[in-house]
Structure 1
Amino acid sequence: MWNNQGGGFDGGGFQSPGGFDTPQQSQEKKGRSRAQNVLPCTVAQVFNATHTDDKFYSDETEMLQVTIVGLVRSVKETQTRLDYEIDDMTGPPIEVKQFVDNDESIPAEERVPSMRENTYVRICGHVRSFGGKRSVVAYNMSPITDMNELTCHMLEIIHSHAFNASSGQNMNQTSYGGDNNMSMNQGSYNSGDSGNILGLTPLQNQIHQVIKNNPSDTGASVVSVCQTLRGIPEKAIKDAIDFLSSEGHIYSTIDEDHYKATDG
């Protein structure tokens, strides 16, 4: 796929930690961080991840959900599961399991089709270990129809690494691009987690952190978020909350004015 001897971008092969394939915080000595979205990675990264208390860590970042792009080497079908061997040339093939309901009573058009051998696919799933053997339990698999997606996947890995490394550094001030170009000192609230979510604006990340750090069982109220982020227009905060809710980063609790973070 890329280089069967390279194991990624650092030329280290399977024995290396995977080079750029590990999004992480630069503050390694301050404790492990938690990936807040789907983590792009290589097969080598999965095999080299640290396994502690049923959790997997690539360097200091917890691997909650991963996405891998690779070649289907083999397929085994049963009524309840599809077993694959996926190879991305960074290490030995990894076993990927997809649980399905393909009973004979299910109409053919409703059954989950298996991926064909010798085709490239994207897998989204969770890393698991059973009997010392690591695998990925997939909740979504899709064929690659544009080979540019392979290159895009590697760029996503590099970007995630660079982004998490830079976002791990403490920033003295975060700017909000409103009409008055107002800025809010990060010290006005305790983030508790220096990691930002890819694709969110600074304001959306700030609001997500405020909601995530609220210890209440009912979650953070919209009023309390506005009080915490004084100086930012209420409409801008409510618009950001609506966006975070629609994207699945937060969810309402007792009513539409109280929210908790899905990764809290």
Structure 2
Amino acid sequence: MPGETTSPAGGKGERNDTLRPITIKQALEATQPFPEANYQIDSHDLGSVVFVGQLRNISRQSTNVTYKLDDGTGEIEAKQWVTPGTEDSMDTADDLAPAANGVEINGYAKVFGKLKSLYGDRKVVTTHSVKPITDINELHCHFLEAAAIHLFFTRGPPPSAGGGGGAKDAAMGGVGAGGYGGETGGGHLPAMSPVARRMYNLLKNKPQTNEGLAAQQIAAELGLPMADVARAGDELLTAGVIFSTVDEQTWALLEY
């Protein structure tokens, strides 16, 4: 996976900048090949993760806010650390109050963070972002993305639009270093419009955060109207080569 390596000596390796949609069950069943190693799902190291769930409890302390979430596959806590006593910080306990970020008990939320262990084998997600979900379709879409990536790792990539190439790669049990990045070898891109290909190449080559690139930034980088970027985004989402992150107009590349 891009941005991910494991050192021969058994250390944690270099920084892993990938973002993977998961279910809570996958988080709870994640394994470590050795102590202090990165957690793995489907034998692949985890960087950042994103999951969705229904909020069962919110507990505020002076140093953190703890959210307990349930997605139907299991329950897990997400812990957001705060810095008390810093008036200018957006990370104070008051700023992270449930009413401030829009989340509430029995509502649904999307959580971004890293899978960690506390007090032995108890898994938690240390989070930097907990956002409310107001459209139930976002919940369904997340589970489809998590399932698609699980199948990608366990059964290989889907066939390409042209047939043979993708099927051949799947039969070989995976793709090359480029994943879906056709120009870099391994895997094959589906047919797409010129604007969608420009957008894909930008997402592939532009340095970015775990949350990907927003539509406004893509439009500015490519000199395109927002309407064209939105259509290209829909095309790439339908093709299964990108996924939405913090909102419906921020995208990251589904590339492993």
Query: Which category of TM-score, normalised to the shorter sequence, fits these structures?
Result: 0.5 to 0.7
Residue type at the aligned position of 1:50 = T
Stretches of structure 2 that go unaligned for 5 or more consecutive residues are 1-14, 170-174, 187-197, 210-256
Is the contact made by 2:58 and 2:68 (CA closer than 8 Å) also made in structure 1? yes
- Of 110, 127, 144 in structure 2, the residue corresponding to residue 122 of structure 1 is 110
Equivalent of 2:176, from 194, 211, 214?
A: 194
Counterparts of 1:86-125 in structure 2, within 5 Å, are 86-91=69-74, 93-103=75-85, 105-106=87-88, 111-114=95-98, 115-125=103-113
Q: How does 1:164-203 map to 2 (within 5 A)?
A: 164=153, 165-167=155-157, 194=176, 196=178, 201-203=181-183
Corresponding residue for residue 58 of structure 2: 75
1:248 maps to what in 2? 208
Unaligned residue ranges in structure 1 (runs of 5+) = 1-33, 175-185, 187-192, 209-237, 250-264
Aligned to 1:163: 152
Q: Secondary structure at the residue paired with 2:150?
A: helix
Secondary structure (helix, strand or coil) at the match of 1:127 reads strand
- SS of the residue 1:70 aligns to: strand
Q: Distance in 1 between matches of 2:111 and 2:89?
A: 25
Q: CA deviation at 1:201?
A: 4.3
State the Cα deviation string for residues 16-43 of structure 1 (Å, max 9, x = none): xxxxxxxxxxxxxxxxxx9873111111
Please give the root-mean-square deviation of Cα atoms over the aligned residues, in Å: 4.0
Which AA in structure 1 matches 2:152?
Answer: F
CA–CA distance in structure 2, aligned partners of residues 139 and 108 of structure 1: 11
Contact 1:81 1:97 in 2 (8 A): yes
- Contact 1:75–1:84 (Cα < 8 Å) also in 2: yes
**TM-score, structure 1 length as denominator?**
0.52
**Equivalent residue runs for 1:127-138 within 5 Å:** 127-130=115-118, 131-138=120-127
Deviation of 1:196 (Å): 4.7
1:20 corresponding residue in structure 2: none
For 1:119 and 1:239, how far apart are their aligned partners in 2? 34
Shift of 1:99: 1.3
Whole-Å Cα distance in 1 between the matches of residues 52 and 156 of structure 2?
25
Change (3 A) 1:239 1:84: closer
Looking at both structures, which has the greater relative contact order when contacts are Cα pairs under 8 Å and sequence separation is at least 6? 1
Measured in 1, the distance between the counterparts of 2:16 and 2:136 equals 27
Q: Partner residue of 2:143?
A: 154
Q: Does 1:145 find its partner at 2:134?
A: yes
Task: Measure the CA separation in 1 of the matches of 2:201 and 2:137.
Answer: 34
Q: TM-score normalised to the size of structure 2? A: 0.53
1:124-172, Cα deviation, whole Å (9 max, x unpaired): 1111112221111012211001111111011101221233332499xx9
